[in-house]
Amino acid sequence: MRATVMHAAGDVRVEDVPDARIEQPTDALVRITASCICGSDLHPYHSMPAGSGPVHMGHEFIGVVEEVGSEVRTLTKGDLVIAPFAFSCGECEFCRAGLHTACAGGGGFWDMLGGQGGQSEAIRVPLADGTLFTVPGPVDEALVPSLLTLSDVYGTGYHAAKVAGVRPGDTVTVVGDGAVGLLAVLSAKQLGAEQVVLMGRHTARTDLGREYGATDVVAERGQEGIEKVRELTGGGSRVVLEAVGHMPAYEQSYGVVRAGGVISRVGVPQYDEAPVGFMSLFGRNITLNGGPAPTRAYMAELLPAVLDGTVDPGRVFDRTIGLEDVPEGYRAMDAREALKVLITP
């Protein structure tokens, strides 16, 4: 079968690899019908250490069940399924608490499996009963992009807002105008935020952010951007949703949050150390939370509004390509020519 493999920073190829197959009785074999390139895929695209490749790429996908292992009970051949970006047992204390990304029953992230990725024609899904979410059919083909966002970016944006405790009447600032940031805007509005400030400087993206509910857009960065947000919000936001993962975004976040507020991080941090002392967080009683979103926990909650058209998170996809064109998709996203690229194998 064909699959996307990253050999080194900037070196993405689509290659012939061994066919995916059932290996454990709890596995399912899924034929992928749509996947995508994630903003987090650009981190290794920029900086994969020499000698750490090749790595199979992709952690967001939907598809059709082709075969199930002998112990799989909730899935049948032909089911349309959404896969979260982490596989999980669905039964341990963490999964039962809705924290599937901390699964203690053998769960993990797709890149831990080796030799598999979502940017391919098919994939073996471990712990299939706990991992895969079945979409009741039939489903309009036009909904596929929005369904795919439930795998990661919509669920991640929603997680940011949810764990931050966004509530009706809130003032929220979203740092980052990528797909997660835009869907964090949508999520904050869904949860009742009154004012949503989007920090971003790419007009096509921030225009979509306004359509998703942003009341203000701040293109400035650094101290200038911080001062602009604090002016707009009357001294700072109660909630800040950080959807980038780089240090300048974190610095902007603690710069615009008000005393007693919350910073919720869902951008994968590209740093190990960050200010948490008296002048940044401690002195103003700032709460810092967030982490890898347990998107599997939110699928049932978010799906109805997608199916009935109340929300259209799939608009974050602004380019669709075939599997053979994935290297070009990486280049386009890295060059900011595309916001998020959808792949149809």
pLDDT along the chain (345 residues), means of 10: 96 96 98 96 90 92 98 98 98 98 96 91 98 94 97 98 98 97 98 98 97 98 97 98 96 97 95 93 96 98 96 98 98 96 94
Q: Residue 54: is the preceding peptide bond cis (ω within 30°)?
A: yes
pLDDT given at position 111? 87
Strand partners, 173: 197, 240
Same-domain check for residues 194 and 211:
yes
Q: What span, in angstroms and rounded, lies between the C-alpha atoms of 174 and 208?
A: 14
Same-domain check for residues 144 and 165:
no
Q: What is the pLDDT of residues 316-325, one digit of tens each?
A: 999 999 999 9
80 in helix, strand or coil?
strand
Instruction: Check: CB of residue 221 under 8 Å from CB of residue 198.
Output: no
Q: What span, in angstroms and rounded, lies between the C-alpha atoms of 193 and 186?
A: 10
Q: What span, in angstroms and rounded, lies between the C-alpha atoms of 256 and 46?
A: 29
Name the residue among 100, 106, 96, 117 with its Cα closest to residue 54: 117
Place of tokens 């987090």: 40
Q: What span, in angstroms and rounded, lies between the C-alpha atoms of 313 and 171?
A: 22
* Number of residues written out for the chain: 345
Q: CATH number, domain at 181?
A: 3.40.50.720
Same-domain check for residues 166 and 300:
no
pLDDT given at position 137? 81
Cβ-based burial of 317 (10 A; exposed 0-12, middle 13-18, buried ≥19): buried
91 in helix, strand or coil?
coil
Q: What is the residue range of 204's domain?
A: 157-290
pLDDT given at position 74? 97
Same-domain check for residues 168 and 239:
yes
Same-domain check for residues 213 and 103:
no
Same-domain check for residues 214 and 91:
no
Element (H, E) at 221: none
Same-domain check for residues 182 and 227:
yes
Token pair for residue 203? 């007009």
Same-domain check for residues 146 and 8:
yes
Q: What is the pLDDT of residues 125-148, one digit of tens each?
A: 999 999 999 999 889 999 999 999
pLDDT given at position 51? 83
Instruction: Check: CB of residue 72 under 8 Å from CB of residue 26.
Output: yes
Same-domain check for residues 10 and 65:
yes
Q: How many domains does the chain have?
A: 2
Q: Name the DSSP class of 274.
A: -
pLDDT given at position 203? 96
Domain boundary among 290, 311, 333: 290
Same-domain check for residues 233 and 310:
no
pLDDT given at position 292? 97
Same-domain check for residues 25 and 144:
yes
pLDDT given at position 335? 95
First-to-last C-alpha distance (Å) of the chain: 11
Q: What is the pTM of this model?
A: 0.96
Q: CATH number, domain at 300?
A: 3.90.180.10
Same-domain check for residues 166 and 275:
yes
